[in-house]
Structure 1
Amino acid sequence: MNQPPPRPTQDYSSAASDVYKSHPPATPPFQQAPQQPPQGPGPAAPQQAPGAASGYGFPQQPPQPPQGAPGYGYPGQPPQPPYGQPPQPYGYPQPATVPMNAQGSPGGGRKFGPQAMIVTAAVVVIALIVGGGLWYKSSQDGETTAGGGGSSETGEGKGGSGEAPAGSGGGDEKVPADPNSKVLFQLPAPKVKGDSSYPVKGSWLTSKVFAKPGLSEINGYDLDSGKVTWTTPLSGQHCASSPEVGDGDIAAVVYQNAKPTAEDKYPGCDKISAIDLATGKILWTESVEVGSRPARYDEVSISGSTVAVGGGTDGGAAFDLKSGKELWKPQNGDACEDVGYRGGEALVAVRKCGSYDNPKMEVQLLDASDGTPQWSYKLPAGLDNAKVISVDPVVFGTDSQDITASGVTDVFTLDDKGGLQSRFALEDGKYQHDCGVNKVHDCRQIFAGNGKLFVPTAEHDAKGEEYGRTNEILSFDLKTGKQTGDRFDAGGKYKIYPLRMDGKNVLAYKAPPYDKGGQIVSIAPSGKQTVLVENPATEAVRNVERNFLPEFGEVIYGDGRLFMSSLYVREPSKVTKEPEYLAIAFGTK
């Protein structure tokens, strides 16, 4: 076993305060409420609470559709039940049925910290205001590009097997002769019972398969027919997936060590495996021993030939992607620990040192081969929950206001030596990004590319529309922190979400109004939008599509195909008896 060289401890007495003075926060610093101290093994309460619906304020009641029309983008999915813990109840309508042969016509937790408790209380109040019904907005999935799907940290490319051929729209994705899509297939959700929801977060797209976790298995599906090409059973419930696809189309997963039993209802998320997405073969399975028990994890990332796991209370660890050789792990007596990692073109760690009630946080660029830090950036005092948005360049965010729905109100951009380039605010309630509580690699609907940070605005009344809602994508210059002139309108009653870069263009998904299908568009720097996909506008298709919107689902696009999938599965409604779907795929070919 190889251990990385000791990471240097740092003097926090003056450097952080100097940075703080030269780059004061755009909003008053907020000393976040401390989390619960680490606990021993065993069940814990949920690790994060649901966010509130997007809008100009928090909380805000969601917009209402015209009478008799399907709802738009709400109610959302349930809050994520912590892995290995009792899932939370749900209370929302079920999706409409689309026939399987449709062709476009009528498918080890943490303790609950004070921050999450406050947000939970807010959601309860909102639910009462709405009128007794429950509606949720998930705060999960790495990026809007969905689970393991396929964007790099700069948003360039779609992962898997490389770029699509260049088209006439100015991006790398080919512009189809006819953007009108058809339903390629729908995947039925795994069967579950009871008023509970179960996490199935994560999905990957390669040149040959679309892969997606089930409850205790991973499945590979043919891109055009949805036929199962391979099934990989897991020893227990799936817990986390790498948002990246490594060389050779290899992904990484974390899962429970066994299925629940009467004696052990909540097995730990301590198994780590690498999976060949071409065949479904498990290349290796490992766990990390800390003292006399295995460490539990709820995040996993890939950078180069390294798989790094984090998100637990024991500190991070890493393995070789192809062999499973241990590269580093937590050591007893360490004064510092890695909270979590973000992979991609580089490997960035969030590291915590010092006492529990007075932690000192750092963001570090690591040598992915052995964990040696190349540089460290110390967070100013009072900021203790950094979320890494990009690794090349390094961009991270913190929540320095009072408890917010977005999870990130201040953005830091660093240069290639770890020096602060800019710091700017994303005022709470004005933007629609979403970064998970106590997560490092879990920011959605926000990404960095082409020297900019792209983020959608909160929805607002559409101009000239009686009941329509819409929004825009804006960008910030990473070097200066100033807002650029970019303003990419959704138009009409659509809502727009940035997915990743498409060459020099921005690839975005446009959620439809009540009477249209969704779109994938490639947006040139000039703002010109080229439609790559236009989904069917039939009511049955629209109703299923809305269950997978980026606010509470996963969206992956590549080479003329759009895959939308769920973060959770649940028992079908006993009232409507409509089936649940795991995913739906559209294609223009």
Structure 2
Amino acid sequence: MTQPPPPPPNQPPNQPPQGGGFGPPPQGPPPQQPGYGYPQQPPSYGYPQTPPAQQPGYGYPQPPTVPAQPQPGGPGGGRKFNAQVAIIVAAVVAIALIIGGGVWYSGSSGKDDDKHNSADPGGDKDGKDGEGDKGGTGGSGENGGGGPAGPAEKPPADPASKLLFQVPAPPVTKDVSTVVVSGSWLTDKVYAKSGIAEIVGYDRDKGSKLWTVKLEGPVCASSQWVTPDHKAVIAYQPAMPTKAEPSHGCTQVAVIDLDAGKKVWTKTGGEAARPISFNNVTVSGGTVAAGSTEGGVAFDLADGHVLWAPKTSDSCYDAGYGGGPKLVAVRKCGGYDARQLNIQTVDPKSGKVLSEYKMAPGIEYAAVVSTDPLVIAADVGDSAGDGSGISDFFSIDNKTGRLLTRISAPGKQYAAECDAITKLESCSGLAVGPGRLYIATEEHDTPGESYGQSNEIVAFDLATGKQTGQRADSGKDYTITPLRMDGPNVLAYKRSYEKGGQVVSVDAASFKQTTLLENPTGEAVKDAENSMSPTFAELVYGQGHLYMSQVFASDLGGPNEKEYLAIAFGAGG
């Protein structure tokens, strides 16, 4: 797979480099785990390999599906008061940056009688444990699933688009060469994008600045989710990096009102003398959750007071959270040589653990692909071998914590990537819909052609782990990447070096593609578009508009190269 751009130097201390969220930075291999991960098979690029009676007609040959395994333990109890954590919160209150709120931790109890594979893959459909944040630009990653709130995407009379505007890349200071600028959101009123130590709201069509929210330091983490009333969540540094101090830690958490163009509140986690540097932030059910190697904390979305904080010990901590329809915690226990990851569906308001799935010991990192249905990605035994962070997907029932199925996704065959090390909720090349996981395959020679590369999107059933037999072909000289779900359908971006890119809607039943947007082919416009790789850039589509933006600002370009922070296309050209 294509490797991401170099990580910036201005990262919080004692943390891996904050990349664009699309594929983990280099890491030492964890211990090999015999028995996990599936044997690699030669790619078949979405075409039939076995008779239909044995294998659905398209996609790669299927390795044996791992059935649901009985899991020790079960749903946890409430997050009870802990004296040590209470002292920390008392200190935090003294700072007057975080106020009120009880502190709770998770405790597991009970039994899980998982004996079969028949649990509902959709999880809890009544929405009582996190309903309310179904808008937004994400769901399976920063350029992955979910979508802007509003009606379903409709094909225009003419999908030919025009370039609406371009935002020049901001200059970086001489003290640092690269700065993180991750975070982009779309509402019915504004396209908002992180710059260097600021969030800017742009007119959706003209690109004129509607508002600017100034920050003390660069954004280092952001949630792709936008609440129904158009609020987004970020974490940022309290000061600008310098050559002497390249990072001040990602200690500030803020809620941004995208309609009003202002900060609703800013809070700091941890003690005054030692604030927590957060790796990720997300939002679900009126709660802002932030995780780190030093533990997690949950704030009330409305006013920022602490709702709960899970117990942190020498052996266990909440590394991060996935948000949106439900709140899911990735809780790490044990040392590097004996890691235990617990995937917990959590009540956003109380912190109570509603269900828990214990992953096999030794898996070091896991990414939250989707919280409802609950899908987790992991590189089991470091078997992916390509830096994608994915060897397998785990489909889990939210209600019981039962494993429904495990899906093998060898890195040599599939193009999905996750940054499970630092951001947990940043995956690309995939989307998750009701009962289905959609993954892009790697590029390959176009069948029947003497030259040219192409790929497909294939679908897996989240209850059985088997391919459904459906595929969406990119076509010659295109590559196709899922962006997000649009109701039951998949929105995908088609990239080409020969033509302008396209946004298509893939029908969930027939897999017929409908073109929603087709970008112009002018050389300068095409070059700008191709500088925004769907693997590393942020792509947001809604109501006939496509916004593409960078996650780094740097001085690495040549003196005559035009660099852009964001570009926008709109139908009706």
Q: TM-score, normalised by structure 1?
A: 0.73
Q: Which residue of 2 aligns with 1:116?
A: 26
CA shift for structure 1 position 80: 2.8
From 278, 301, 304, the equivalent of 1:324 is 304
Aligned: 1:307 with 2:291: no
From 491, 497, 505, the equivalent of 1:507 is 491
Maintained 8 Å contact 1:149/1:202: no
Pair 1:337–1:117, CA change in 2 (3 A): closer
Q: Which residue of 2 aligns with 1:78?
A: 5
Q: Which residue of 1 aligns with 2:547?
A: 563
The residue type equivalent to 2:15 in the other structure is: R
The whole-number CA distance in structure 2 between the counterparts of 1:267 and 1:259 is 8
**1:502-541 matches, cutoff 5 A:** 502-512=486-496, 514-524=497-507, 525-541=509-525
The whole-number CA distance in structure 2 between the counterparts of 1:305 and 1:418 is 23
1:347-396 CA-to-partner distances (Å, cap 9, x unmatched) read 00010223454232200000000211001111112222111111111110
Partner-residue secondary structure (3-state), 1:293: coil
**1:267-346 matches, cutoff 5 A:** 267-290=248-271, 292-310=273-291, 312-329=292-309, 331=311, 333=313, 335-346=315-326
1:482-522 CA-to-partner distances (Å, cap 9, x unmatched) read 1111111001110000111222221110001x321000001
Q: Which residue of 2 aligns with 1:30?
A: none
Pair 1:261–1:363, CA change in 2 (3 A): same
Pair 1:272–1:474, CA change in 2 (3 A): same
Moved more, 188-197 or 422-431: 188-197
**1:139-538 matches, cutoff 5 A:** 150-152=137-139, 158-159=147-148, 162-164=149-151, 172-193=152-173, 196-261=177-242, 264-290=245-271, 292-310=273-291, 312-329=292-309, 331=311, 333=313, 335-400=315-380, 401-402=382-383, 403-415=385-397, 416-439=399-422, 440-512=424-496, 514-524=497-507, 525-538=509-522
Pair 1:190–1:247, CA change in 2 (3 A): same
1:130-154 CA-to-partner distances (Å, cap 9, x unmatched) read xxxxxxxxxxxxxxxxxx9513469
Partner-residue secondary structure (3-state), 1:404: coil
Partner-residue secondary structure (3-state), 2:26: helix
Partner-residue secondary structure (3-state), 1:540: helix
Pair 1:420–1:203, CA change in 2 (3 A): same
The residue type equivalent to 1:80 in the other structure is: P
CA shift for structure 1 position 424: 1.9
Partner-residue secondary structure (3-state), 1:517: coil
The whole-number CA distance in structure 1 between the counterparts of 2:409 and 2:512 is 25
Moved more, 184-193 or 338-347: 184-193
Give the count of matched residue pairs: 454
Pair 1:260–1:156, CA change in 2 (3 A): closer
Pair 1:83–1:313, CA change in 2 (3 A): farther
The whole-number CA distance in structure 2 between the counterparts of 1:186 and 1:469 is 29
Maintained 8 Å contact 2:26/2:387: no
Maintained 8 Å contact 2:453/2:477: yes
Pair 1:111–1:444, CA change in 2 (3 A): closer
Pair 1:226–1:515, CA change in 2 (3 A): same
CA shift for structure 1 position 333: 4.4
The whole-number CA distance in structure 2 between the counterparts of 1:492 and 1:390 is 31
CA shift for structure 1 position 573: 3.5
The residue type equivalent to 1:433 in the other structure is: A
RMSD between aligned residues: 2.4
Pair 1:389–1:373, CA change in 2 (3 A): same
CA shift for structure 1 position 399: 0.7
Q: Which residue of 2 aligns with 1:31?
A: none
The whole-number CA distance in structure 2 between the counterparts of 1:367 and 1:567 is 31
1:84-128 CA-to-partner distances (Å, cap 9, x unmatched) read 36xxxxxxxxxxxxxxxxxxxxxx451589982459xxxxxxxxx
CA shift for structure 1 position 314: 0.4
CA shift for structure 1 position 467: 3.4
The whole-number CA distance in structure 2 between the counterparts of 1:115 and 1:564 is 22
1:249-282 CA-to-partner distances (Å, cap 9, x unmatched) read 0111111111234654421110111010012211
The whole-number CA distance in structure 2 between the counterparts of 1:436 and 1:510 is 22
The whole-number CA distance in structure 1 between the counterparts of 2:196 and 2:511 is 41
The whole-number CA distance in structure 1 between the counterparts of 2:486 and 2:342 is 32
The whole-number CA distance in structure 2 between the counterparts of 1:77 and 1:348 is 27
CA shift for structure 1 position 398: 1.3
Pair 1:157–1:370, CA change in 2 (3 A): same
Partner-residue secondary structure (3-state), 1:543: helix
The residue type equivalent to 1:259 in the other structure is: M
1:524-568 CA-to-partner distances (Å, cap 9, x unmatched) read 121211100000011111100001121121111100111111111
The whole-number CA distance in structure 2 between the counterparts of 1:414 and 1:203 is 29
Q: Which residue of 1 aligns with 2:566?
A: 583
The whole-number CA distance in structure 2 between the counterparts of 1:572 and 1:332 is 40
The whole-number CA distance in structure 2 between the counterparts of 1:365 and 1:380 is 18
The whole-number CA distance in structure 2 between the counterparts of 1:332 and 1:346 is 22
Q: TM-score, normalised by structure 2?
A: 0.75
The residue type equivalent to 2:443 in the other structure is: E
Partner-residue secondary structure (3-state), 2:529: helix
The whole-number CA distance in structure 2 between the counterparts of 1:109 and 1:536 is 45
The whole-number CA distance in structure 1 between the counterparts of 2:16 and 2:518 is 43
Q: Which residue of 1 aligns with 2:534?
A: 550
